[in-house]
Amino acid sequence: MKALSQKRRHPLVAVVLLAIALILTGGLYAVATASNQAQAASSTTYTASDIEEGQKLFVSNCATCHGLNAEGTVDGPSLVGVGAAAVDFQVGTGRMPMQMQGTQAQVKPRQFNDEQTHQLAAYVASLGAGPTVPEDEHLDVTKGDAANGAKVFLANCAMCHNAAGAGGALTRGKWAPTLMGVSEKHIYEAMETGPQNMPVFNDANITPEEKRDVITYLKAQEVNESPGGFKLGSLGPVSEGLLIWTLGLGIVIAFTIWLTSRSA
């Protein structure tokens, strides 16, 4: 026991233990990384080549803000576990890479084509499990229920995007963008991933069928933008109240002038 105690106090023990801990940590990380890459590569969507090319694109265009291993920096969040859907949405709508730092990423002409976006999504998907790009059956508006989609949208989305999906202002210079003209895939991905200030609506909050119904409702709005007549920018009761107040006040002033001129 005395000899064992002396060995534990040997100055090299700490170094040996640290080396063993590093080896074990590195081994576990390698296994986990290989598992994630194998899972992404084995899917029907992504191949090992997609992941490799996506990593090259990521290092060249995204690592400055998100880190070489997508671990995140002070300028950008970690992308480990965000999933392919988040990448497909952010890159596919031109929000990423950001043109400049600001309150939120702005929609602009996209920098990458469909194939490159696909490859970037494959690489990020290989880093950890996350929401996937939706399947076509979840985007088929011919199978959706616009009436139910309106109920879901009004209960969960209208407070920011307004009832017509035209968007609106939020606090501290932020805004909810218009949903008119946005593709079915990107609307679905936004609900799944919660970009910018938007909450995440996973399948427990809004089912895939309800998401499809919401998309169906929004696409119906695009076809019939103003069922009630003059839409006033689809900004809701504020613009409508302002119009009524302005017209009403003008009528009162005109009537008062008319009465005054009659009495004279």
Q: Which pLDDT score is estimated for 164?
A: 84
* Residue of 48, 26, 50, 27 lying closest to 37 (CA atoms): 48
- Contact between residue 58 and residue 124 where contact means Cβ atoms under 8 Å apart: yes
Residue 160 annotated as part of some ligand binding site? yes
- Count Cα neighbours of 219 within 13 Å in the Cβ-side half-sphere: 20
Residue 10 annotated as part of some ligand binding site? no
pLDDT per position as a tens digit, 58-81: 999 999 999 999 999 999 999 999
Cα 176 from Cα 68, distance rounded (Å)? 31
Q: Give the 3-state secondary structure percentages of the chain, helix then strand then coil, rounded to 5.
A: 60, 0, 40
Q: Which pLDDT score is estimated for 59?
A: 96
Handedness of CA 169, 98, 198, 210 (dihedral sign): positive
Q: Which pLDDT score is estimated for 132?
A: 93
Domains of the chain: which residue ranges?
Answer: 2-127, 149-225
Residue 65 annotated as part of some ligand binding site? yes
Q: Domain 2-127 belongs to what architecture?
A: Orthogonal Bundle (1.10)
Radius of gyration of the chain (CA): 27
**Which residues in the chain show pLDDT less than 70?**
1-17, 26-44, 225-240, 263-264
Q: Domain 149-225 belongs to what architecture?
A: Orthogonal Bundle (1.10)
Torsion of the alpha carbons at 113, 181, 78 and 60, rounded to the nearest 10: 20
Q: Which pLDDT score is estimated for 236?
A: 60
Q: Which pLDDT score is estimated for 4?
A: 47
pLDDT per position as a tens digit, 222-231: 887 665 566 6
Q: Which pLDDT score is estimated for 50?
A: 95
Residue 118 annotated as part of some ligand binding site? no
Which helix (H) or strand (E) segment is 168 a member of?
strand 168-169
pLDDT per position as a tens digit, 172-213: 888 999 999 999 999 999 999 999 889 999 999 999 999 999
Q: Which pLDDT score is estimated for 213?
A: 97
- Contact between residue 203 and residue 193 where contact means Cβ atoms under 8 Å apart: no
Q: Which pLDDT score is estimated for 89?
A: 97
